[in-house]
Amino acid sequence: MSEGKVYGYARVSSKDQDLTIQRKALKKAGATHVWEDVGSGTTTEGRLHLLFLRTVVRSGDTIIVTRIDRLARSIADLSNIVRELQQKGVALKATEQPIDTGSAAGKAFLDMLGVFAEFETNLRRERQLEGIAAAKADGRYKGRTATIDADRIKQLVAEGKGATEIAKLLKIGRASVYRYLKESDGVAGSLVASGSQ
């Protein structure tokens, strides 16, 4: 029976970050091919190479990451990925952490790291919300600058334009058009009633 393949997976959050260090570490650890994504680790949405990698691995294969947060920052996503890999008979290892789902100790460490990663994300979100609340109380936070030209929307509605056309003309989402009209004077109802798209 032939030995399983060893794949690497690398991820950075934004295009201005470099994947070189991860790539080198994964190749040094034995990865024959490294799949790479650019995107947030808080969700697996849009990470096509991770999705493809999870599709091609077979029993006996191994996926290596440098750190577990390269794979997922959400405990739910991490649990789903690990469960899926285990069901397929695929091992998960990290080069910078004592993680190896092939051993009980490695699996326990992985579970603990996932809990701490989610805890850290939640703390960061809470601190951000507390900071915004404090800034609002002090009058320092005004929120985002409005990007919707209310008068222009009303003018376009009066001209008989539909929500889709208005959204394209103003380079905003169609939902934003409906939301604004609903909040302002109920013109959205007339848009829907008239069947404007």
3-state helix, strand, coil in the chain (%, to 5): 55, 10, 35
In this structure, what token pair is assigned to residue 50?
């991770």
Between CA 179 and CA 151 the distance in angstroms is 15
Neighbours of 46 (CB within 10 A): 11
In this structure, what token pair is assigned to residue 98?
């004592």
Annotated active-site residue 13? The verdict is yes
Produce one character per residue of 159-196: b if its CB has 16 or more CB atoms within 10 Å, e if not: eebbbebbbeebebeeebbbebbeeeeebbeebeeeeb
Between CA 106 and CA 190 the distance in angstroms is 60
List 13, 103, 190, 194, catalytic entry: 13
Report CA dihedral (150, 153, 154, 155) to the nearest 10 degrees: 120
Q: What is the CA radius of gyration of the chain?
A: 24
Active site members: 13
